Amino acid sequence: MTGDIARARDLLDHATSVAVLTGAGISAESGIPTFRDALTGLWEKFRPEELATPEAFEANPKLVWDWYAWRRGVVAKAQPNAGHRALADLERQCRGHEVDFTLVTQNVDGLHREAGSQRVVELHGNIRRVKCFDRHHPVESWPEGDHVPTCPRCGSLLRPDVVWFGEAMPPEVLATAVAAARTCDVFLCVGTSTVVEPAASLPFLALDSGARVIEVNPQATPLTGRASVSLRGTAGAILPLLV
């Protein structure tokens, strides 16, 4: 492992452009359950697809709103971990050496920004934000109560500002992530299974564009065989060693 760490550090030291992709693994270390693991207690009788679709919200908006309110409560209690902080440190180091840096995340918890990361691309949105269902107006604050709140501008019901099953990512968000993968010379893939599209394609796009790829994950993934360096371990344990 020591030799692999040294090789990964050397790649980062000589990079001119760094892109990072993070998945549920890094958030799990802060106590945030993965999307499917979150269906426990009151919610265990549901499947995620029954709660995270536009159709589910139209059929029972209060049920979906309450589930996301519970998830927001879990996120609000979480703190960035050593992995989040290390990536924020890496970005600061890159900026100090005029190295381009982009952090792309599949997570919706906002912990990267809380840790100090600045250039963050949130592929699946952010559970801390809400918008209206009909026109996607962003809403800064809303009342808590027994009813689903409504948009002050148009009266539409409010919903979480996340990408649901059956919805497309905002094209500008995906375009930014793809551009970062295509133009970086080092791609760091952290805590993601690389099986959920379109995020799963990003490290392979980076490889096909000539980048070196560093993987950090406790288990092997479809990326492992092609990664330039594959480091077995959690983000909180490995990333501070790289930075």
Query: Distance between CA 221 and CA 223 in Å, rounded?
Result: 5
**Sequence-separated (6 or more) residues with CB below 8 Å from residue 180:** 19, 102, 104, 121
Query: Distance between CA 200 and CA 128 in Å, rounded?
Result: 24
136 belongs to the catalytic site: no
Consecutive H or E run containing 181: helix 171-183
Helix (H, G, I), strand (E, B), or coil: what is residue 162?
Answer: strand
Sign of CA dihedral 126, 128, 132, 136: negative
Asked whether the beta carbons of 23 and 107 are under 8 A apart, the reply is yes
Catalytic pick from 14, 97, 112, 124?
124
* Ordered DSSP codes for 101-122: EEEEES--S-HHHHHT--SEEE
Q: Which residues are catalytic?
A: 124
